[in-house]
Amino acid sequence: MPPARSWRTYPQGYMLEAARCKKCGKTFFPPRLVCNKCQGREFERFNMQRTGKVVTHTVIRTPSDEFSGEAPFAVGVIEMDDGPRLTSQIVDVSFDEVKIGMPVKLEFRRLSSEGDAGIINYGHKAVPART
Amino acid sequence: MRDVAVIGVGMQKWGELWAKSTRDIFVESALLAMDDAGVDTLGAMYVGSMAPGLFADQEHLGSVMADYLGQKLIPSTRVESACASGGLAFRLACMDVASGMHDVVLAGGVEKMTDIGGGDATHALASAADMKWEAVHGVTFPGLYAMMAVAHMAKYGTTREQLAHVAVKNHYNGSMNSRAQFPMKITVEGVINSVKVADPLNILDCSPITDGAAAAIVVPADMVKDFKKAGVKVIGTGHATDTIALHDREDLTTLAAVSASAEQAYKMSGKGPRDLDFVEVHDCFTIAEIIVSESLGLFERGKGGPAAEAGDTGLEGRTPINPSGGLKSKGHPVGATGVAQIVEITEQLRGEAGKRQIKNARVALAQNMGGSGGSSVVHILEVM
Ligand SMILES: [Zn+2]
């Protein structure tokens, strides 16, 4: 991946930077330029709380080449407590324990690396939130 | 706008066609369609192809295919809407003829997917999803549809067996289609015990990687009498988009772009779900056929699974789905799939479908999906 392609999303990858529409209040991760609910164009940026819950999930057993060393792994759609939904791996938990509605929190982890000399992609992975 | 009709269709056998190039595959099917119509020159053409650059190291297919089809200097447009590229090429051909711009227009689709390895193909297909916010986490296309399946099972009680019935039915239909890539019959137990891909989907829930093409010739409806064979009228068309990322949709158990594109086609044609004698839909995965059957209004929400299990979608059922064998058995060369649906419908409505012929079929619908439902194209066709 060209370095600039990962560099320009550092604020989202590192701080979970999101945006809230000033007109209707809908929240977006990553931030957008236009609200898809009200067409508003003014937003306030904020860093999301790291907590959310699992909306749906699966276990990837046949991955793309980039993830061939890591399968099987669990992936899910997470609804953040601040509103936006996102896709994330779900780790540090057995596959049987991953359920719809399960509380999770996002941790900063390595996502993938591109060979020995390639750049390493960092981002979030979800772990069970012990309540 | 002028009424339009399909006057010729063509499709070669699909599979792993290692001896043939992208352009060979396309031109062979295009010539079959042109011969079926009885034409040797075109006013314009549209070529549906999702990712020829990633799959076969060649872009600019509009020029490549017009050149190799021997059509000098005509307007030829490559169309891309992921796995709905073929359906969209057909729609644009219909709009071209309807506008009065051209009289004889070819809609084709092609994909040559087996030159690269399985992992690379998985990556190329993933580019129909949100590469930056979905694929970067390792989620694959089967993974996205598996997550829809998990949500649908939780909300409606759809079962693992019901998913399997979709695959069994489509392979049964495909066993009567000489152009299908995998015409073998399978069983419910066979599907459930096949290799796991993305839970709960197994390999026999997934459409395959395929090389193939398909083509159709579109003309003004009032010109059909000048041709040797029967025309099939295009009475409705629809196209809609939805969020690129699955996670941005409020309801993961339905496909809003499918419903929206169908509504447009229903309104234009004056037909509804109950008027359809059969449908060809985008069963890229078994769960997709179930959700699409609900989103088209063929069955109530949550009833698509029980309908599949009860045989309501079989050749003799209330609303036959995918008499061709669908993507599952026939194969899924992504850019060609939407045009192949038009090929099947045209042959069925002309009474040319052989052993899988649906008796007295007069009205049928085709639904072609891009990605995880980021786009959908629907057409309704009727006997003239
Ligand atoms: Zn807004």
Chain segment B254-299, per-residue pLDDT in tens: 999 999 999 999 999 999 999 999 999 999 999 999 999 999 999 9
Which residue of chain B is at minimal alpha-carbon distance from A125?
B137
Cβ separation A85–B123 shorter than 8 A: no
* Nearest-CB residue to B147 (from A30, A73, A77): A77
Contacts of B247 in chain A (CB under 8 A): 55, 77-78, 85-87
Q: Which class would CATH give A49-131?
A: mainly beta
B296 to each of B81, B137, B304, B318, how far by Cα in Å?
A: 20, 31, 11, 15
**DSSP string for residues in chain A:** --HHHHHTTHHHHHH-EEEEETTT--EESS--SS-TTT----EEEEEPPSEEEEEEEEEESS--GGGTTT-SEEEEEEEETTS-EEEEEE-SS-GGG--TT-EEEEEEEEEEE-TTTSPEEEEEEEEE---
Is the pLDDT at A122 greater than 90? The verdict is no
3-class DSSP assignment, residue B13: coil
Query: Best mutation site among A75, A79, A91, A97 for testing chain B: the one with the most B CBs within 10 Å?
Result: A75
**CA distance, residue A130 to nearest chain B CA (Å):** 23
A94: Cα separation from own chain's centroid = 20
DSSP lists the bridge partners of residue A20 as A27, A44
Parallel, antiparallel, or unpaired: how do β-strands B278-280 and B232-241 relate? unpaired
For A24-68, what is each residue's pLDDT tens digit? Answer: 999 999 999 999 999 999 999 999 999 999 999 999 999 888 888
Tokens standing for residue B307: 């309908």
Instruction: Give me the percent of chain B exceeding a pLDDT of 90.
Output: 98
User: Domains along chain B?
Assistant: 4-117+210-232 (3.40.47.10), 130-206+235-383 (3.40.47.10)
How many angstroms separate the Cα of A15 from the Cα of each of A4, B47, B248, B374?
Answer: 18, 43, 20, 28
Helices B286-295 and B256-269, interaxial angle, to 10°? 50
Separation of A106 CA from ligand 1 center, angstroms? 26
pLDDT at A118: 67
Name the pLDDT band for B213 (thresholds 50, 70, 90): very high
Helix (H, G, I), strand (E, B) or coil at B166: helix
B152 CA from centroid of ligand 1 (Å): 29
Q: Could you check whether the bond before residue A30 is cis, i.e. omega within 30 degrees of 0? A: yes
DSSP assigned state of B211:
E
Answer whether B198 sits within 8 Å of A65, measured CB to CB.
Answer: no
**pLDDT at residue number A102:** 98
pLDDT at A1 over 70: no
pLDDT of residue A6: 73
Output B117 or B305, whichever has higher pLDDT: B305
Q: Give the other-Cβ count within 10 Å of B260's Cβ.
A: 17
Q: How far is the CA of A79 from the centre of ligand 1 (A)?
A: 19
Longest dimension (CA), chain B: 56
Distance from CA of B55 to the nearest CA of A (A): 15
Q: Ligand 1 mean position to A20 CA, how many Å?
A: 8
Q: How many angstroms does the Cα of residue A23 sit away from the middle of ligand 1?
A: 5
Q: Please state, as a whole number, how many other Cβ atoms lie within 10 Å of the Cβ of residue A91.
A: 16
The ranges assigned to domains in chain A are 1-48, 49-131
What does the angle CA A23 – CA A104 – CA A130 come to, to the nearest 5 degrees? 130
**Residue B3's pLDDT band (cuts 50, 70, 90):** very high
- Give A27's contacts in chain B (Cβ within 8 Å): none
Contact B137 A9 (CB under 8 A): no
Which chain B residue is nearest to residue A88, measuring alpha carbons?
B137
Rounded Cα distance between B20 and B26, Å, is 10
3-state secondary structure of B363: strand
- Test the B interface: residue of A1, A32, A58, A97 with most B CBs within 10 Å: A58
Phi, psi for residue B225 in degrees, rounded to 5: -60, -20
Would you state the pLDDT for residue A114? 64
Q: Catalytic site residues of B?
A: 83, 332
Interface predicted TM-score (ipTM): 0.95
pLDDT (mean) for B70-83:
98
Residues of chain A contacting B140 with CB distance shorter than 8 Å: 60, 62-64
